[in-house]
Structure 1
């Protein structure tokens, strides 16, 4: 034995640490590294003669495969929700009709939505005109006049 050789329980302690970090820094990145460390701890327990170089390489490969695999699976199976526009507030207003607070001149004006003012983009229209939101472009509501 030349120097330090990690034991199986070292990988389980690392896994616990990585999973704790995941709870503090969300993003499902450290979770998969923690799961890889759990798997590697199990492999190191079953094959105690495995050298630290092999363990480290296996941890890197398992981590990479699990993270890339999870990202690929997430893209192929997006999470369905009953509120798809929850964190996209502007998109929640698409299809609704509002009154212009300030005239749309040179393509831009302001529309009152509840207790706030939103920048509106569309064809020129006078203040007080009714407009329908057709899209949201970031924080700008794209509107068209209501006939």
Structure 2
């Protein structure tokens, strides 16, 4: 059924497939289907040129589509990578903004774990065993855990 539909539509079947993939990208955003849809549209454009040519078999079309999809997906991944420079390098990394600050232990550090209260948040801390009320300096952050040392 699909083969007869694709052969009756001719080169436009690639265009329809590409547009369906682009529409799916709108419904399920993730900047991935756009590259596969673009590959289908490129193969569709080439099919308009070569449809009557003897070498333009469905196998060649599929191999070209798969290769283009892989190349464009890799290009898209590189183009949209998260390694871009920003004027706010610590945005959404709140723990790292606290490095260097001092705080007072609200709960003692026992067996390497304790808690401090900074601004409006309670933070889990790691460090040497210290009693509550000790002034500590935050030396590093790993997710929601802060490493501290006595001041």
In the superposition, the TM-score normalised over structure 1's length comes to 0.81
| Shift, 1:92, TM fit | 2.5
Which residue of structure 2 aligns with residue 103 of structure 1?
Answer: 108
Q: Give the RMSD, CA atoms, in angstroms.
A: 2.4
Deviations 1:40-93 (A, max 9, x none): 111111111322222112111110112123335666x92222222323332232
Question: 2-side partners of 1:88 and 1:60: how far apart?
Answer: 38
Secondary structure class of the residue paired with 2:132 = coil
Question: 1-side partners of 2:148 and 2:43: how far apart?
Answer: 56
Question: 2-side partners of 1:24 and 1:129: how far apart?
Answer: 53
Question: 2-side partners of 1:129 and 1:117: how far apart?
Answer: 16
| 1:114 equivalent among 96, 111, 119 | 119
2:73 maps to 1:70? no
2:13 maps to 1:10? yes
| Shift, 1:141, TM fit | 0.8
Which residue of structure 2 aligns with residue 130 of structure 1?
Answer: 135
| Larger-Rg structure | 2
Secondary structure class of the residue paired with 1:143 = strand
Unaligned runs of 5+ in 2: none
How many residues end up aligned between the 2 structures? 144
Which residue of structure 1 aligns with residue 40 of structure 2?
Answer: 37
- In 2 relative to 1, CA 81–24 (structure 1 residues): closer, same or farther, beyond 3 Å? farther
- In 2 relative to 1, CA 45–27 (structure 1 residues): closer, same or farther, beyond 3 Å? same
Question: 2-side partners of 1:23 and 1:46: how far apart?
Answer: 29
Unaligned runs of 5+ in 1: none
Question: 2-side partners of 1:8 and 1:92: how far apart?
Answer: 55
